[in-house]
Amino acid sequence: MSTIAFVNIPMHGRVNPTLPVVAELVRRGQSVTYHTSPSFGAEVTAAGATLCLYPGGDQPLPDPPTPATLLAGLAQTAVAVLPTVLTDLRRTRPDLIVHDAACLWGAIAARELGVPAVSSFTTFAFNRQVPSPTRGSWGLLAAARPRTLRAFLRSQWDLHRRFDARGLPLLDLGNIAEPLNLVYTSREFQLGAENFDASFRFVGPSIGARRPDPSFPIDDLKEPVVYASLGTVFNAEPRLLRSLATALSPLAGTVVVSTGQTDPAALGPLPANVLARRTVPQLEVLERASLFVTHGGMNSVNEAMHAGVPMLVVPQGAEQPLVAARVVELGAGLTIRTEEVEVLVVRELAQRLLYEPRFRAAADQLRAAQRAAGGYQRAADELESVWG
């Protein structure tokens, strides 16, 4: 039996793909620890890992969550949590550390302890030919508030003074590669896949069992089901969600709207066939959906492709415009900017996606590619190969 330590950024988009891998490793008899914040404790322990908490409780996302504030936040978090993470790791003595591609403290911990490390890419993989959103970091930071720039520089100086950060990016903190890198999408969906060497393993979406939501009336949904969700990181305005629901309701048997941080009551009166909830069992709904209106987060798009559902992508930020462009390029959907969301415009695009066969055909091709990539079982195989 080996011990694998997962060190991650406490965000749904970063944590969720790793949990089925954790559960599979535990099923195979491996010992797994997981370093994260309390808000993910229940999910981590349900997957069978030993929970190791960061100090200070749950940390809020930078506000606003721009590339510059995220860079500063990553560096500041690394300074704050590394002493505790290193203490925990010295106690558990892992054989392997798996860290998110933007988890600076996980990469530093592996170097401090001399432990092999694997990087986990839950968005696209990036390199010189496929530049990451944080590649132009000096420009991003120069345009940031002086306070953000000072926080970033102070934290980076502190990290390099106190810890072993050799070989790690000084600026491109969202793109930390290791000798082995797991990418949670298919090679067919990856941007410029031909530019990546064998150290990048495109394992496809990591989709495992999730806790059921008995309160959700999944069996009452009427076809065609149209599902809309703009994610959990960016706070979608009630007007935006209401416009989507109003536009989609004449085309659907049931419209399911996941409102995330927005109170469903703030949307006001909605058509009778619209079901609006803060949280939705996304995998179950996508298995029944004919169309997905999404913000273009990589996890959501991967799950839609895994289900073979065409998409209307409304990017809200981060890497989402890149994801949207790739969906359109491969013929599995259309995209629209947030400021262009109007009832008639959305309804026209949704009609095309529902009734033009080419979108479903492209989605079916991506569905086959996503499933053939191997998912969480392939990811577990790759991790075991490091010491096997």
Q: What is the DSSP string of 111-123?
A: HHHT--EEEEESS
Q: What is the second-level CATH architecture of the domain 3-204+374-387?
A: 3-Layer(aba) Sandwich (3.40)
Q: How far apart are CA 279 and CA 43, in angstroms?
A: 16
CA-wise closest residue to 322 among 103, 64, 135, 74: 135
Low-confidence ranges of the chain (pLDDT < 50): none
**Which numeric CATH code is attached to 218-372?**
3.40.50.2000
What's the pLDDT score for residue 210? Answer: 77
What's the pLDDT score for residue 281? Answer: 94
Q: Give, in degrees to the nearest 5, the angle at Cα 198 between 192 and 204.
A: 65
Same fold, 3-204+374-387 and 218-372: yes
What's the pLDDT score for residue 141? Answer: 65
What's the pLDDT score for residue 214? Answer: 87
* 146: number of Cβ within 10 Å: 7
Tell me the angle at which helices 320-329 and 298-307 cross, rounded to the nearest 10 degrees.
30
Q: How far apart are CA 67 and CA 73, in angstroms?
A: 10
CA 37 vs CA 8, 77, 200, 333: distances in Å: 9, 12, 28, 35
Quote the mean pLDDT of the chain. 92
Q: Domain ranges for the chain, please list them.
A: 3-204+374-387, 218-372
Cα 333 to chain centroid, rounded: 19
* Residue pointed to by tokens 């559902």: 309
Q: How far apart are CA 273 and CA 255, in angstroms?
A: 6
What's the pLDDT score for residue 57? Answer: 83
Per-residue tokens: 58: 């749950």
| pLDDT tens per residue across span 334-347 | 999 989 999 999 99
> Are 116 and 386 spatial neighbours (Cβ–Cβ below 8 Å)?
yes
What does the DSSP 8-state code read for residue 223?
Answer: S
